[in-house]
Amino acid sequence: MPDLDNRMTGADAVVRLMQHHGVQHVFGLCGDTSLPLYDSLARLDHGITHILTRDERHAAYMADAYARLTNRVGICEGPSGGGATYILPGVAEANDSSVPLIAMTTDIAVSGRGKFTLTELDQKALFAPITKYNDVIDRAAEIPATLCRAFKEATSGKPGAVHLGLPFDVQRDPVDDGDVAGDPTFGRVPAERPMGDLRAIARTASLLADARMPIFICGGGVVTSGAEDVLQSLAERLDAPVATTITGQGAIAETHPLALGVVGSNGGTPETRAVVEQADLVVFVTCRAGSVTTERWQYPAAGEAKIVQIDIDPAVIGATYEPDAAIVGDVRLILEALLVELAGPTAETGAQAIVAEARRAKFAAFDMLAQADATPIRPERLVADLRAVMPDDGVVVVDPGTPCPYFSAYYTLPRAGRHLISNRAHGALGYALPAIIGAQTARPDVPCVAVMGDGSFGMAAGEMETMVRLNLPVTLVVVANAHYGWIRAGQRHRYDARFFATSFSRTDHARVAEGFGLKAWSVENPPALRGALAEAIAHDGPSLVDVTCQPLDEANAPVSEWVA
């Protein structure tokens, strides 16, 4: 407890430092080593809402989605031992997805180390490979400086995940309250906007001006930096198509005449790939040009087009392609500078007609399946019907399995900004169900829908209790086919359909949801699907729609290795 000589406990200092950095929500799960922190959260007046979760992994996923949709630092916490190991997947996902997140795990007392204390493990070594910054605080006096650095690391340069270990005795030891201060600038991204090298900007502008057919391929940094409007202006100035990664969806409204949609092996199609092949200059904008976006570095092929890279992370430059020009810095400032450099008239490329034809061909086959009354329900019909009943500002979170390629390819976003999320860095199943809680916390005034396979549902079903406890108006859509569909599809297409250990028994997800207190629908008849989705979204509490769907390995999924 704080005493009379201007001191507070270490746990009090942690709470006050979060408050000074503008933290409004914390997602976490209690444990013995967390008692001092929880007492401070209970006792102090701080304005922070703590959301109790049913699993530490889910706390991290909630904080991840919350951060993506608010640009605030997502905060998750858990206890020592198992709590620290459970929270790891969400920390790894946030770090590799450039999401600002701080994971706090409490720990055994410093004085208990090396004595076989229950739940002892080396937290600093555990988190080192998956974080941008990582520390275990051994003295209470170090708390103010370490937490301030944690917020700065999470939000400066390339955003990322931070881990802090808080030993039990450090939480109880005194801290001088005069040392407890924070800068709210580092409570959200982008905290700082470094400008790119002017010579590199001039070189890039020259390449763009000379290009016959430039194309932008954009990652999630465009939305994080708030550069959507300037990207659109630059694309219009150059008459250049804009493609995105899955994480980059929302960099431009997908109804814009220059918006090509997602490219790559997951969500890309032969039609979108063909537009990339036509380009003589490819500009990767906050896109790492990894294996998925480029279909293992085939599109663009090395030497077939000039390459420009724009990224805040210098490690990205030259990692996969040798660039003809590269700019390191904040993407909004860089694109604004390029607009100034390219103020004069530019040549017509015919890009709008090329993009329109690619989109027409891409959606022709999709629309036939989306209107089909065949059973099991086609995934295309689910995408089309959900798009029809969701408002333009709604948020959809999709798991990386069965739903991801369909939604990334065909769920058209009519507004720029982040309205669709998938955890694509590591692709762990079980993300969407807990993440929708973070999404609804971030955007409480819009409908939020999570779409997942039944394999993913089984990994995270316990968080339905959290939804009911908080009475969140979120909707879960389960793509039910009793398979781990992505792996089964791989077995069909690459291993002569030798299916092994990818199927499980059918679950009545609607009855499970009703047992938790959700309102639920089961849909097997295609004409009933749209109405059920509309009713579920309109419901004033948590809801679930269990949709019996065609298995992924039998479907026409936009995944290039299966199409080939």
Which tens digit of pLDDT belongs to each residue from 410-442? 999 999 999 999 999 999 999 999 999 999 999
> Residue 3: what pLDDT?
44
Range 223-233 average pLDDT? 98
Range 244-250 average pLDDT? 98
> Residue 165: what pLDDT?
98
Cβ atoms of 523 and 547 within 8 Å: the answer is yes
Q: Which strand ranges, in their side-by-side order, compose the sheet holding 161-167?
A: 49-52, 25-28, 74-78, 101-107, 161-167, 133-136
CA neighbor of 102 nearest in space, from 27, 51, 5: 27
**CA dist., res. 562 & res. 564, Å (int):** 5
Q: Say which DSSP state 418 is in.
A: -
Helix (H) or strand (E) holding 453: strand 448-453
> Residue 561: what pLDDT?
81
Q: Which strand ranges, in their side-by-side order, compose the sheet holding 259-262?
A: 259-262, 242-244, 214-218, 281-285, 306-311, 325-328
Range 508-526 average pLDDT? 98
**Average confidence score pLDDT of the chain:** 96
Which tens digit of pLDDT belongs to each residue from 132-151? 999 999 999 999 999 999 99
pLDDT higher than threshold 50 for residue 398: yes
Range 534-557 average pLDDT? 96
Q: Which residue in this structure is represented by tokens 């390449």?
A: 207
Q: Say which DSSP state 478 is in.
A: E
Question: 3-state secondary structure string, 5-56?
Answer: CCEEEHHHHHHHHHHHCCCCEEEECCCHHHHHHHHHHHHCCCCCEEEECCCH
**CA dist., res. 79 & res. 86, Å (int):** 10
pLDDT higher than threshold 60 for residue 325: yes
Range 52-63 average pLDDT? 98
> Residue 4: what pLDDT?
40
pLDDT higher than threshold 70 for residue 5: no
Q: Which two tokens stand for residue 308?
A: 């420009």
Please give the backbone phi and psi of residue 389, each rounded to the nearest 5 degrees, phi first.
Answer: -105, -10
Instruction: Tell me: cis bond preceding 376? Omega within 30 of 0 counts.
Output: yes
Close Cβ partners of 441 (under 8 Å, ≥ 6 residues apart): 25, 51, 62, 66
**CA dist., res. 70 & res. 85, Å (int):** 27
> Residue 348: what pLDDT?
84
Cβ atoms of 421 and 65 within 8 Å: the answer is yes
**CA dist., res. 32 & res. 38, Å (int):** 10
DSSP E strands in 189-317: the ranges are 214-218, 242-244, 259-262, 281-285, 306-311
> Residue 1: what pLDDT?
42
Q: Which residue in this structure is represented by tokens 């569909």?
A: 485
Band (474; pLDDT cuts 50, 70, 90): very high
Q: Which of 102-106, 343-347, 368-372 has the lowest mean pLDDT?
A: 343-347
**CA dist., res. 101 & res. 86, Å (int):** 16
Q: Which two tokens stand for residue 183?
A: 């800068």
Band (495; pLDDT cuts 50, 70, 90): very high
Q: Which two tokens stand for residue 261?
A: 């949609």
